[in-house]
Structure 1
């Protein structure tokens, strides 16, 4: 779940991300993270296998999907690690320093990406 250590080139949490999002989408993602949610890196999702045809939602596969490094960096940058991050840090499976070295590339606030 923590193999991806840096945000990918079009991570929605990058300051200059080319990914286009609806203006409400990033706040929704952060709210989900604040509620102890998991946000997978889009590059680790197998959309063909994980798409629920009925709901149109992607099912999470925690064995394959990796936690979005940009999301982790955003949470750590704002000193808001959610419960999964705290638990995995305590058991030695996650080190925030792996992600904080990329903090300058990650948005400082949601308003930076709210123009789309």
Structure 2
């Protein structure tokens, strides 16, 4: 994983509609050590909320969003540090990415 998927909700160019509550919950989660998995790797066959499986991968858009917005970047989240240890992504893959939202306010504005 070296880039967000083409329809990642953290990309500014993607039209994605979430409730304000859902957007807030995502941001609260990733800033409080919760994992956020790529929607393409979550099993939605039994629930609209989806089920994380052993094959689920961390969302690289969320990784870059943290890099762009939070002191300590993705390493500020323990689950993303585990992703580094499991080699889901590497520090060399991380970069400032203008295609990803650059602030919490812009993310909420863009997906709500």
- The TM-score range, normalised by the shorter chain, is 0.7 to 0.9
Equivalences, count = 105
CA RMSD of aligned residues (A): 2.2
- Structure 1 or 2, whichever has the larger Rg, is 1
Residues 1:112 and 2:106 aligned together: yes
For structure 2, list consecutive stretches of 5 or more residues without a partner in the other structure: none
Equivalent residue number for residue 38 of structure 1? 35
Q: Is the 8 A contact 2:43 2:52 kept in 1?
A: no
Runs of 4+ in 1 over 4 A off after TM superposition: none
TM-score, scaled relative to structure 1: 0.74
Give unpaired runs (5+ residues) of structure 1. none
Hey, what's the Cα distance between the residues in 2 that align with 1:87 and 1:9?
24
TM-score normalized by the length of structure 2: 0.76
Over residues 56-92 of structure 1, what are the superposed CA-to-partner deviations in whole Å (9 max), with x where a residue is unaligned?
Answer: 532211x211101100111122333211222443x47
| Residue 22 (structure 2) pairs with residue 22 (structure 1) | no
